[in-house]
Each structure stands twice: as structure tokens, then as C-alpha cells.
Chains A and B, each alone.
Chain A
Amino acid sequence: MEKLIEEFSFGLFFWQTLLFGFLLFLLWKFAWKPILSAVNEREDGIKDALAAAEEAKKEMQNVTADSEKLLKEARAEREAMLKEAREIKDKLIADSKEQAKVEGDKMMKQAQAAIESEKKAAVADIKSQVASLSVEIAEKVIKEQLSNKDKQLKLVDDLLGDIKLN
């Protein structure tokens, strides 16, 4: 301890305090203050930039998700539309088929009815013609046969013979 006190030089202490005090002031003013504020500023800048990047990333993700959603929706819509179109087409075909069939049936029926009636008419016509013809023929035959007695008798005989055969 005594050695330490003996070694203590007041002059050196004085100069050290003076110079260091001066240095402290100068460095504080011209070095540490600007350095620390610059470093702080830079760090804040980095922090902000990182936050912004994070934000942008999130936004990007949102946008991608949105577009994906849109795409999906569009695809679904297309699918639905296609399906609907197909259904409409099927229905149309089915409907037209049905209608055609109904129409055809109807026409067929009408044709059949027409044919039937024509046929009936024709038959009736034929019948009447046949009847008149037969009457005429019968008239002529009878006229002829009844012109003499023998023939009349023979006819009667023939008729009678036919009846027997039946």
C-alpha cells in the first residue's frame, strides 16, 4: 500500500484526467453519438424492412390463395355449366324423341284411321256395287230364265237341289 501511494504521481493523474475528460467529451460529441444513432437507425431500418417483407409475403400468400380460390370457383362453375348443358342437351333430345314419338303415333293413328275409313268406304262401295251388279245379273238371269217355262222349272229344281246339298 505504501509503495502504491509512493508510486502515485499527481502530475500523471492530472494529465490523465484532463486528457481523458477531453477525449470523453470529443468522442461523445463527434463519435459515439453519431455512431450509436446511425447504428440504431440502421437497425430500425432493418427491422422495418423485415416487417415489410413479412407483410408483403403475407399479402402475396393472400393473393395466391385468392387467385387459387377464384380459379377453383371458375373451374367449378365451368363444370357446373358443362353439366347443365349436358343435362339440357339430354333433356332436349329426350323431349324431342318423346314428341316425335307422340307425333308419329298420332300420325300413325290418323293414318290408320284414314286407311280404316277408306277401307270401310271401299268395302261399302264394293258391297253396294257387288249388290247392284248381283241384282243386275240376277235381273238379267231371271229375265232370261223366266222367258220360258222349262227353264223356270229347272231353276227351281236346281235351287232345291242346292238346298239339299247344303
Chain B
Amino acid sequence: MSANSFAKENEPSDESGKDLKTEIKEYIQHHLKDSHDFSLFSYTNDAHEHVYVGFPLPVILWDDGLKVFSSSKFHHGEEVAEVDGNYYKLYHGKIYKTNAEGHIDYDEEHHPSNAKPIDFSITKSVVMIFITCLLMFFLFSGLAKSYAKNGGIPTGVGRFFEPIVLYIRDDIARPNIGEKKYKRYMPYLLSIFFFIWFLNIFGLTPLGVNVTGNIAITFALALLTFLFTNLTGTKDYWMHIFDPLGDTLPWYGKLFLYPILVPIELLGVFIKPFSLLIRLYANMQAGHIVLMSLIGLMFLFKSWLGSPLSFGLAFAISLIEVLVALLQAYIFTMLSALYFGFAAVEHDHAEAH
């Protein structure tokens, strides 16, 4: 990310007359979003042309049939891509269907009103997810194999992760879900922890992509937690939602209380995973914004005092972000385990609430 910034911020204020401040702001906005090509960095050459270093990614659109083409056709949003007689334009990270000139209509709120084809493109984030999946698969299947080969003692890089696997089992799954049922949630908890952690860390590397700070990703993860929670819910779990007071209140009391209580409990079912998705998204997003703003400040100050100061700050925040990367993965896993624990309850708690 810093490599990106260096390149971009080194540009002289370009022809559109935007000052450096707006440019940095836009750059941060751009970085936080997913993109259709994997650009490492870009610069402007002497002839005032943007030169992008990176590689294009496949664009897959569903627009009355599958349209697959390389994102190089967009020329980083500068040109209109023509595929099978249709014209598409990349505008603020989204693909719109336009006419041959690439004209975009705006509504009164300055949002583009052009038709949007359904976009299944292999974006930068999808590439990172794929890389993370591959990495995790090789790392952990390697660890698994080393047990069999070495008589129960792990070898290789995977060995480093064994204590974490044990930590998740002993300090997250067991106390929250309970000795009896924790085993069936373990694969999900382990996968989600390492997936979020690795992606968070990748987001902090110079080439990193803000994957976990993307609402679609956190939504997908939280949706899985939601589904696992409710699909494995026991009778006690549902009783707790629809009959929270149990035998402690006679039926005529429930008649007055339940119209309020049951909707609240039901709402809680959805709020819990929703808080998960917002927390992860907001934390990662905020971390990236803060870091990039501090890096941007270096170029704004342009002084002997201010720039080193913001560099030091950026460095300190980077360290904190490494911690946050782990912490958010931990919190997501921990809370998922907690919700699974609610779903897996199996005890007579008629008098407990």
C-alpha cells in the first residue's frame, strides 16, 4: 500500500486541477475499494501519461449472456470496453453499460443511472481470496500430513500454527460451546480465524488489498455464522427465543410481555451476526483509512518536522494494525463461538431467565 501511495502521491497535481489533498483523498477512496485489475503502482511519465504497473484480471459480466473479457480493455477506467456490440465503462470501481462514447447519465443525487450488468469479475479481492485459500490449504494440509509422517509431532511451517489451533480449541471453542458439542464447530472456527487473520495481514503488506474491509466479504462470513448458528440450534435455543420466560411466568403474564420480548429476541438473532459483519468491516476500513491518511500527510507537510513525524505515526499505527489484524480475527471467531454456544445449549433453563 505504501508503494502504491508513493507512486501516486509523487505525481504532480494533474491536469484536472485537483490539489494534492483531494487527490490523496480520492486515492484512499480508490484503495479501499475493490478493483478490476491488479495494479501494483502507477506513475505519470514525462509525457503526462499514466503508466500502470500490474496485470489485468478477467471481467465476467452477466448481461443477457455471459461476457468474459480482460480488464485491460477498460484501460483503468479511461476507455470504453466494447464486447459483442455492448459498451461498458468502469466508473468508480463499478461497471456500467453505456453507449459507444461511454456517456454516463446521473440522477439528481449525482449517482450514475446507467444499467449495471451483474458483475462476477475476478477482481483484486477475489484473487487475494484465492491466494489465501491456496496458502491456507497447503499450509494446513501440510501440517496435517506431518503428523502422520512424524509420529504425532508436527514439522515444517505449519508447526508455528499448531499452538494457535490448540488455543482456538481450548480457549475459544471449549469454554463457549461446551465439551460435548465443540467438535463439530471446530473446522468452521479454525477456517474463519485463519482466513480473516491472513487476509487482514495481507491487507497490511505493501501490495495488500483491503479484502476484509469490504462489506461483501464480511457479509458473506457473518452470513455463514448466522446459518451455522440457526441451522444447528437446539430445541432449547429456539425455546429461549420464543418462550424466554418459560415457567417463571403464568400464561396471562406472558400475554402482555411476549409481544415485546419475542420480537426483541428475534431481532437479536439477526443483530448478532450483523454486529459481526459491521465490526470487522469498520475496523479494517478504519485502519486502512488512518494508515493511508498518515502516509498522505507525509506528502502534504513537505517539511523537515511534519513528514518524519507523520512517518513515525504511520509506523506506530502500522504496528497497532498488525495487532488489530489478529484481534479482529480473534473477536470474529470468539463471537461466532459464543453464538454457536447459544445455539448448542442443552440444559433445563426454564428457571434461569
Contact = CB atoms under 8 A, between A and B. Distances in A.
Contacts of B31: none
Interface string A11-40: 111111101101110111011111110110
Contacts of A11: 60, 118-121, 123, 126
B216 A13 contact: yes
A41 to B, nearest CB: 6
Contact of A8 (B166, B188, B190, B215): B215
B216 A30 contact: no
A9 interface: yes
A12 B126 contact: yes
Contacts of A14: 120
A100 B215 CA distance: 122
Given A27-B137, A30-B144, A39-B165, A15 B120 contact: yes
Interface of A: 4, 6-17, 19-20, 22-24, 26-28, 30-36, 38-39, 41-42, 45
Given A11-B119, A11-B121, A27-B140, A32 B130 contact: no
Contacts of A45: 152
Interface of B: 33-34, 60, 94, 111, 118-123, 125-126, 129-130, 133, 136-137, 140-141, 143-145, 147-148, 152-153, 162, 165-166, 169, 183, 186-188, 190-191, 195, 214-217, 219-221, 223-224, 281
Interface of chain B, main secondary structure: helix
Nearest to A17: B220
The 10 closest A-B pairs by CB, nearest first: A31-B140, A38-B147, A34-B144, A28-B187, A12-B216, A13-B216, A16-B220, A11-B119, A32-B187, A42-B152
A142 B219 CA distance: 178
Contacts of B195: 20, 23
A19 B34 CA distance: 17
B214 A41 contact: no
Contacts of A35: 140, 143-144, 147, 162, 165
Contacts of B162: 35, 39
Nearest to B122: A15
B221 A9 contact: no
B147 to A, nearest CB: 4
Contact of B34 (A12, A17, A22, A24): A12
Given A9-B119, A11-B123, A14-B120, A31 B216 contact: no
A28 B184 CA distance: 10
